[in-house]
Structure formats: structure tokens, C-alpha cells
Amino acid sequence: MTHPPAEATLRDTVLSIGEDAGAAAVAVAAYDFEHHTTWSLNADRWFHAASTIKVPVLLGVYDAIEQGRFQPTSRVHVRNRFHSVVGGVPFRVGEDRDANAAVHAATGRTLTLHELAEHMIVTSSNLATNLLLDLVGVDNARACLARLNVSGIELLRGVEDEAAWEAGLNNRVTASGLCAAMRLIEEGKAISPEASAAMLDILHKQRFRSGIPAGLPEDARVANKTGEISTIAHDAGIVYLDGRDAYVVVILTEWAPDVTGHRQETIARISRAMYEYMTGGTA
């Protein structure tokens, strides 16, 4: 089943929202479990991942758990020293560059794998991300994506690896790639049903709600992961509404460095347009 009468209108609406806000680029990918349909706009365009790369890192973590390499209760020493993928140059995650101070406060002690995974997703801790990626291994996380047949995601390095950034090595995503990953989690096919349920539980605890969730009715439930840096603002989520099956929506946006306002509002407006499209309203 498709919604052909609304598709052209939705495309125009999304493009207009981005243009009005001054976005340099907008991409959207969605999958509706209610009608088993897809909708997309520029879905294969590559964007800097920002913190949405933490979703594939989460997949890598639970893949390692599934393989028996670790347990959710395994304890990890919290340190703030990492090595760049370029020449092994040491680097740190600046506390002023991190959204979460709790992991930094635990330096020298230990946190469980599960605690770090929650910090990585729920409050977008960069330090937790690098600790987990170091533990699991970038190559292993990439291999997990390959086994899941998830394309459109390039995981190359940890967060705040300046030497890699200067060498042009950046984590990148497409809307279609993130949509595929979120869809597998909702379907219970990401690693295993148990791993999918555990990851979904973490995504439901997300504290950053000014993007996709802000465009939805108050009773909507959303499991999501945001990402924002100087020229990027993204959100990828699974939306649950009473009386219908869920849908996945990924909204990626790129901005000129001097355009700083309305980024989250723009994502919320696109989220609203997608909600109206999915539920049969007027986009």
C-alpha cells in the first residue's frame, strides 16, 4: 500500500521547511510498519554523522555481548586517553566538548558496559563512546554492520579524533543507512531479539527531545538518537502512536556555520509533516 496522492505535497513541504530555515541540505528516510511503505528524500546523500554514529557503536557493543566477549555487567576502567586512527596520536575528550559530565567524573574508577551504553545514547557522552569503541574495536563494529547488511553508514573513528578529522577521516551516515539500522532494532533483528530489546530500552530513555519528538503529539513515544555539531543537526527515531504500528523516521540536516538558529525547530517541523503524512493528515 502506498500514499501517492500525498507524496508530492510532502516532498514540497519538507523542501520548503528546509529552505525557509536556511538549511544547506535536508535528507529524510522513513519506514512505516503500519502500511509497510517507505518514503525518502535525498536518502543516499552522505552527511557527517555527528552523534548519530553512536547508534552503530551501540550495535557493535551488543554484538560483542551476543558473542560472549563481554556482559552488560562487565566493568570498564574509565580513562581519558585514546589513540588516533592516524599515526596513533594520543588525544583526549575535552570535558567542555562533552554533553555528559558524569562519565568524566568517574575517571579512575569503573562503570559497567550497560552504564556506558546508556551514557553514550541517553546523554550523548563522547567519553563513553570512545571507551566502548576502544573496547569493542572499530573493525568489529564495522563487521557487525556488514553482517546486518546495513550500508550507508561509515564508522571510521572515535569522537574528537582531531588528527583523523584533519586527515579527512570522518564518520558519515545517510538517512537510508540510519533508517535501516533503526528498523532492525524495532523488528528485533539487530543482533538478536534480546539485544534489540535492550538497545530499544536505552533509546527510549533519550533526553534530547527537541527534534523529532517535539513535532509529535504529547502522547507519542519516541526512541531516538540525535547528533549536532557546527554544521550538522540530525535526529533518528522510532515513533510509537496509540492505535497503529510504529514508524521509523530519520531527518538529517546540514547548515552553513553562520546559520545557528532554528535547527531543532526545523527537524521538529519536518517530523510534524512526516507524522501528518503517516497518519493521513494534511502534510
Q: Where are the domains of the chain?
A: 1-45+174-283
Q: Is the pLDDT of residue 4 over 80?
A: no
For range 24-47, the mean pLDDT: 97
Question: pLDDT tens-digit profile of 103-131?
Answer: 999 999 999 999 999 999 999 999 999 99
Count the neighbouring beta carbons within 10 Å of the beta carbon of residue 206.
Answer: 21
> What is the C-alpha separation between 85 and 169, in angstroms, rounded?
9
Q: Is the pLDDT of residue 180 over 50?
A: yes
Closest CA to 65 of 3, 24, 112, 27: 112
Could you give the residue ranges of the DSSP H alpha helices within the chain?
Answer: 4-21, 54-66, 102-105, 113-122, 126-136, 138-147, 162-166, 175-187, 193-204, 263-278
Amino acid at the residue 51: S
Q: Which residues pair with 185 in a beta bridge?
A: none
Percent of the chain with pLDDT over 70: 97
In the chain, % helix, strand, coil (3-state, to 5) comes to 45, 20, 35
Q: Which CATH class is domain 1-45+174-283?
A: alpha beta
Per the prediction, the chain carries an average pLDDT of: 94
Question: pLDDT tens-digit profile of 52-101?
Answer: 999 999 999 999 999 999 999 999 999 999 999 999 999 999 988 888 88
> What is the C-alpha separation between 107 and 89, in angstroms, rounded?
21
Amino acid at the residue 81: R
Looking at residue 281, what is its pLDDT?
62
Listing DSSP states for 92-129 in one string gives: ---GGG-S-SHHHHTTTSEEEHHHHHHHHHHS--HHHH
Looking at residue 140, what is its pLDDT?
97
In contact, 200 and 237? CB cutoff 8 Å: no
Percent of the chain with pLDDT over 90: 90
Query: Residue 275: pLDDT band by 50, 70, 90 thresholds?
Result: very high
Q: Is the pLDDT of residue 3 over 60?
A: no
Residue 242 CB contacts under 8 Å (≥ 6 apart), including other chains = 219
In contact, 65 and 72? CB cutoff 8 Å: yes
Closest CA to 240 of 225, 221, 224, 223: 221
Looking at residue 18, what is its pLDDT?
96
